[in-house]
Structures are given as C-alpha cells and as structure tokens.
A and B are shown apart, each in its own frame.
Chain A
Amino acid sequence: MYPRIVPVGDSAILIELGSEIDPEINSQIYFLVAAIERSQLAAIVELIPAYRSLLVNYDPLVSRYGEMVALLDELVAGNAASEVDTGTATIIELPVVYGGEDGPDLDTVADNAGLSIRDVIEIHSGVDYRVYMIGFAPGFPYLGGLDERIATPRLKTPRISVPAGSVGIAESQTGVYPNASPGGWQLIGRTARQLFDVASESPSLITPGSLVRFVPVDAHA
C-alpha cells in the first residue's frame, strides 16, 4: 500500500511513506525531501514534510499531474533503495533553565510522575528529540521521543500568554514555543535562545529532520 501518491487538488501531490509515527519512516521523508531538492524539477514550488508524508506543491502549468507523478514515482523508488542513516542528523542544543519562573509547572509534572524534580530534569534532558515536523506556528517543532514516565496532561485552562522560549509537555509530547502565544502545555523550563527570526535568511533555528537536545543550565547566559 505504501508508498502512496495521491493528488491534492490541482497544484499539490501527497506522498505517504507509511501509516504511523515512526522515526525510520520520518527519516525516509527527509531523504525524499533531499532527493527532490537535488532533482531541481522545474515545477516544484514548495515541499512540506510531516510525520509520515510529504506534500509537494507544484505549478501545473509547468508540469501536469501525470508527468509529476511519473517524476516523483522515480524519486520515491530510488529513495526506498537508499540506506537510512540517522547518525547524520544535525543536533541543536538548547540551554534550558528548568523550574521557577521559567518553568512554573515543573512541580506539577514531578507530582504527576511521582518523581523528584531532579529526576524529571534528568529524564527530560537525557535524550535527543527528533524533529518530526514543524507547524502550528512559525518554528514550532513537533518533537518525538519523550519518556512516558514524565508524560503529563495539558493544563485544564490554557494560559493566555506563554513566554517565548518556554519548554513544555503535553501528554507524551514535548516542545518549545518559539514566540509568545496562548498555550495549554505544562511549562517546565525556558530557553533564552531565539528560535525564530523573520529577518534571517534561515529564520528557524530548529529545522525539520534535525535533533533537539535540552541542556540544563542554572541561569540564562
């Protein structure tokens, strides 16, 4: 059944490589992104990777649907044959001050888990998180790999404003708010690094397909 290639209206095509959230399928998505970018197909407008799929926006006045499917089929077939090497992903280190004003819900997360605050920080900062995709808001990463021991339900009442750089937990997800926004995640810390800068050529510090590592620090640099 996979890969599955289907039209999305008249100017986009969806390529699905699997049916679940899985690091290997997600890696394949980013290999496919790289392969399509290398191919420099004239009709390609924009690629939007997600957990297990890739949306290809194209200009149908340059290449019609049938032609695009044929070109993409070939790239997908070549992609499947390539070795997945997860060792090459970029690691982005984010210094985080855990708890206190920076992480007002750290106690809640610890209580919910039946662990000490120290344990929660150690568990949360102890793994590298895969950036499955970016969405919801500019630069907002969907991270995979949170230890189930510290999974925590969302706040019952979302905050009206969450400060930029806040690191949060919602169920078994963790993430960082690039900009101040409303939000219902349990806030456990904050990074002072600027995650999204519209004035920059590469505006997002965190890029899809990379890894994020949270590094506990005592104070913001």
Chain B
Amino acid sequence: MTLVQDRGRVGYQQLGVSVSGAIDTDALDIGNRLVGNEFDAGSLEVMLGGMVIEFSHSTVFALTGADVSAVLDGVPIAVNVSYVAHSDSRLELGIATNGLRSYVAICGGLSVSRVLGSYSTHVASGIGGVEGRALSEGDVLEIEGLNDASFSGQIFPDGPVLEGSNELEVRVVLGPQDDEFSAVGIDTLLSYDYTVSDQSNRQGLRLDGPEIESKTGRYDIISDAVVNGSIQVPGDGKPIVLLADRQTIGGYAKIATVVTVDLPSLGQVAPGSKISFTAISTEDAQDLLAVRVECVENAELSRLVSPRSVWVDGDEVAVGVAENGVVRLADVDGITYPISVEKYTPR
C-alpha cells in the first residue's frame, strides 16, 4: 500500500479531523532534507515495498525508512542518499527487510491538492492525497516546483539505522489517566513484553500480553482527546498504542503516552515483534526531543565526492564523476553508490 503523506493535518482536530501524516516522521524529514524540500512537502509512504515508479521527467529523489533493496535502472541504490532519476528512469522497490515503511521524497514535493492545509491521506475519512485513497497501479503524480540537480548526491550521515529487530524498547510518560489503574496494572505495563498483533495498522498498534488491571475493573472514561502515542486500555486489558490515523477522541482510559522520539520506530515494527515499555519524566522526554531536532532537522548533510551539477540536453542531470556512462558517487564506508545516466556527456 502506498499513500501520499506529509507531517499531518494539524489544526482541525477539534472538528473531528484526524491528523494522519507519515508514521515514521524521521524518515519523512530526512527524505525531504536530502532532496532540498521544506519539511511540509508531500512524499510517498510505501508499506512493505513492492512497487515501481516510472519517471517521465528528470528529477532528484531519495529513499528513506525501511530498506527495500531498491534498484534504479538496474543499479542498486542505498537509503538515505539522494539520486538523479531521468525522464525514462525506473525505480523498483523490492521487499522490505528491516522495517515496514519506506518513504520516497521527490525534489519539489508531490503536487496533489492540499486539503485543510495538508497533503496527507486519511483513508478512513477519504480525505487528502489522491482522492483520499491509497495509490493504485497507473496513477500519475505530478511534481511541484522545479528540480534542482544540486540536491543530488547528498547523504544523510547519521540516519537512524533500522535494525529490523523484533524487540523494541519504547519510552513512555505515564498518564494522563494512570490514576485509573492499580499499582499492579502499571507495573504490568512496565515489566512485561507485549507482542505486536497483526490487527495493527496506521490507526494503532494492538498489543497482546498480560492484562493490565484497572482500579475499578472498568476502563471507560468520559471521552476526551487523544494524541499520537496515547496508550489506551480497553475492557480486555490489552493496550493499544494510537498512531497517525487515530480518531481525535477516545473513551478508554490512557495509562501512558509514548514519547515523541520513539514514535517513528513504532511504524517499523512487524507483527509478532516484542515491545517493552519504560517510564521517563516529561522533562526527560522533552530533552530527547531537542536532541532529535539536532540529529534529524539540523544535522549537516554529507556530499558524495566532489559533486558537480550538470544540465545536459536541457533537462538531463548528472552529479559526480563519470565513468563509462555511469556516474560514480563517492565511496561511503567502502561502498560505491552508482547511478546510471545514459545520456551523460562529460565536459
């Protein structure tokens, strides 16, 4: 499944409009940085890989998030690097190996209509993206604005490395309704591993594990607003972590809230994985968030070897050093990342 997503539809929750947006916001932000976009640009969120993009214009793109053994015109490419695609290029995404969701950021951003200030697709309410739905074979998406070849050949040096692990540690801040739960109930949440159920989706992760005890045996509250990462506990005592596509209001007690910096990883854990929770203070969570901004939003991008931007035949673009019709971009940790450019003419 592929969806157009951005940072989400903020500002209309009091009217019942879900935020939606990319689940792995780190991958989204890194992708947009690599291709020179603003943080609010629309990108593709690809679930479990397995798709092909045919370019009809040359542009710069980057693949982030889960590694899907992507191949551009027959040549393997890496995640967290920006590449040039040509007017007849074909990008093939294989099977996701170390996570669930990959992101394709394109220089200039995807040009779909903004709905209530956002490109994000919320399928349940049919809002945003392409007709409020997932993309289907044959859809044609336009690119917003001009391409700039100088954004190719950039690499995000310290990108979060997805380990494809089936064990995840998640930090939470207790509350806002932790007082509805017994001490034993809170201890249960923080002491045992919970297993990601295959009933999980963009709305939330359903978890299997020991039942969390409430004080009164009841789990209902007078409905109130929820946030990204709210851990609600319905009557069966099994926690549900709410994610991007959550409804705005919920009626179950919320024992804890996942800290913002740990939300992206929740979008990459496969069903069957184990999650353990650790409680930290609000202040510590905010310190972590400040560090995240330094690491993702402000970290300096690296360049793959002496980059050169060249316009050929009006629109063909190449960056790097040409060798036998292949532009070789620098060695990165001993690996050479090539991009094929058929029509490149060295000057």
Q: Which residues of A does B touch, CB under 8 Å? A: 6-12, 14, 19-21, 45-53, 55, 57, 60-61, 64-66, 133-140, 142, 179, 196, 198, 203-204, 207-208
Contact = CB atoms under 8 A, between A and B. Distances in A.
Contact of B230 (A8, A52, A133, A136): A8
B217 interface: no
16 contacts: A8-B173, A9-B257, A10-B285, A45-B10, A49-B14, A50-B225, A52-B224, A55-B224, A60-B286, A61-B289, A133-B14, A134-B16, A138-B16, A204-B15, A204-B16, A208-B14
Contacts, number: 133
B116 A203 contact: yes
Contacts of A140: 16
A118 B84 CA distance: 70
Nearest to A69: B282
Interface string B167-181: 000001101100000
In the A-B complex, the 6 residue pairs with the closest CB atoms: A135-B249, A9-B257, A10-B285, A55-B225, A48-B225, A50-B224
A216 B90 CA distance: 59
A201 to B, nearest CB: 9
Nearest to B12: A203
B325 to A, nearest CB: 47
A10 B172 CA distance: 9
A8 B175 contact: yes
Nearest to A64: B286
A9 B16 contact: no
A138 B14 contact: no
Contacts of B257: 7-10, 12
B150 interface: no
A9 B13 contact: no
Interface string B253-264: 010011110000
Interface string B278-310: 000011011011100100000000000000000
Nearest to A134: B16
Contacts of B115: 198
Nearest to B14: A48
A9 B227 contact: yes
B222 interface: yes
Contacts of A7: 173, 175-176, 257, 282
B175 A12 contact: no
Contacts of A142: 223
Contact of B15 (A12, A64, A138, A179): A138
